[in-house]
Structure 1
């Protein structure tokens, strides 16, 4: 039952993240459709990998393949967003509160905890990933509100929240890799390891949702840096004192 509920919830979460990226891109409808097609093909590839178990440790590539599946999309997104050009400018136009608020979906980290309670995922991977995600998800909308209203200290609060959110994703990836079966001195066990994350529906988390959310964290850092520089330039230059 939890797998079925997870499939529905993660499918909806994936659609929401894609909608945020596509809807707010300052592109024509044709270019938006092209971007949506590329992301759709990526999603289909992830689903195919989960259905065939090609990234599993038992009969597939194993942790190395899963690591590539997580980091390669993030690297590609980061490359195009950090360079100057049409796509970079379009991604830079996504409103900051939207980039923050979409992380409310990380309340779905409860599935990590539920799978841990069922004995299907090990500690410390599942509890750390689950509770960390829920903390970031629960605070996403309040932080987005602070950023939208430019409340006092909003930039500092957003910076701290964003750093914690990115660290949580990195920590979950590291613990998941260390909990994979066959990893020397790993954190997995014979009863539970992170191999379920290579199968449907849970493969959608590391191989599709995590790269998009991690990339949004990088976009938030970029936006905070730019807003800070703009704020400094907007400050009036003090005149030297003259007798």
Structure 2
């Protein structure tokens, strides 16, 4: 339990920091005018506010399962940031930011998925369905591929593109599998024991509410870059 809690909280801090750092690589160096925050500063402030909000709501139990819930509350924390991140792609300025980030950094940041071994522990400890073990293995494979692809792309080795595609394919499959396990085993419409309700509690909810949305957005952004063949 201690390792599960520590890993979940580490991801809850590490992922937003990594996301802000990598996005920051797409912004030009600029100084604030008349004390106003730069565009990059606003981005960092937005991500920080989002992360703090998710932490606060998770600790308060706002996303936890409650009798009478019509939908899983964790879907709110998952879908809103993803929706915002996708809508931002309609902005030419944001597309320029994404296209300026080195693809090696964009893909490589998902090395944090190696810490997804926590899903193995969730399954072993009976905090969730045994099938969560498959998500643990897939996350570790995804994180390893992200590291390899990131290094190859950084070294400008052509095979990096192929590895990046494999990383995205396995990573997206993993996220889809986790979503299936979360939803199909949730107490609202399933009598499965153990259920997936613990994933909506602190600290595991930090993975669902922070790590998962970032992982999905990075897949979307990196696939766009791969299609455009931009290093």
TM-score bracket relative to the smaller structure: 0.7 to 0.9
- For residues 140 and 175 of structure 2, the distance between their equivalents in structure 1, rounded to whole angstroms, comes to 12
Q: Tell me whether 1:34 sits opposite 2:42 in the alignment.
A: yes
Consecutive aligned runs of 4 or more in structure 1 exceeding 4 Å deviation: 59-63
CA contact (8 A) 1:63 1:177 kept: no
Cα displacement (A) at 1:164? 1.5
Q: How does 1:1-243 map to 2 (within 5 A)?
A: 1-27=2-28, 28=30, 30-58=38-66, 61=69, 63-80=71-88, 82-124=89-131, 126-184=132-190, 188-189=192-193, 192-227=194-229
Cα displacement (A) at 1:152? 4.1
Cα displacement (A) at 1:74? 0.6
Aligned partner of residue 48 in structure 1, secondary structure: helix
- For residues 111 and 70 of structure 1, the distance between their equivalents in structure 2, rounded to whole angstroms, comes to 19
Cα displacement (A) at 1:62? 6.5
CA contact (8 A) 1:51 1:200 kept: yes
Cα distance, 1:134–1:62 mapped onto 2, change above 3 Å: farther
TM-score, normalised relative to structure 2: 0.86
Which runs of 5 or more residues in structure 2 are unaligned?
A: 32-37
Higher radius of gyration, 1 or 2: 1
- For residues 36 and 141 of structure 1, the distance between their equivalents in structure 2, rounded to whole angstroms, comes to 24
- For residues 3 and 155 of structure 2, the distance between their equivalents in structure 1, rounded to whole angstroms, comes to 38
CA contact (8 A) 1:57 1:63 kept: no
Aligned partner of residue 64 in structure 1, secondary structure: coil
Cα distance, 1:152–1:3 mapped onto 2, change above 3 Å: closer
- For residues 26 and 72 of structure 2, the distance between their equivalents in structure 1, rounded to whole angstroms, comes to 33
What corresponds to 2:35 in structure 1?
none
Cα distance, 1:37–1:60 mapped onto 2, change above 3 Å: farther
Deviating more after overlay: 98-107 vs 149-158: 149-158
Cα displacement (A) at 1:15? 4.1
CA distances 1:158-182 after superposition (whole Å, capped 9, x unpaired): 2122121122112211211111113
CA distances 1:48-70 after superposition (whole Å, capped 9, x unpaired): 22122222223584643222321
CA distances 1:5-55 after superposition (whole Å, capped 9, x unpaired): 225422342244234334313143621221111112211221122122222
What corresponds to 1:239 in structure 2?
none
Aligned partner of residue 73 in structure 2, secondary structure: helix
Superposition RMSD on alpha carbons, in Å? 2.3
CA contact (8 A) 2:26 2:100 kept: yes
Aligned length: 223
- For residues 140 and 96 of structure 1, the distance between their equivalents in structure 2, rounded to whole angstroms, comes to 11
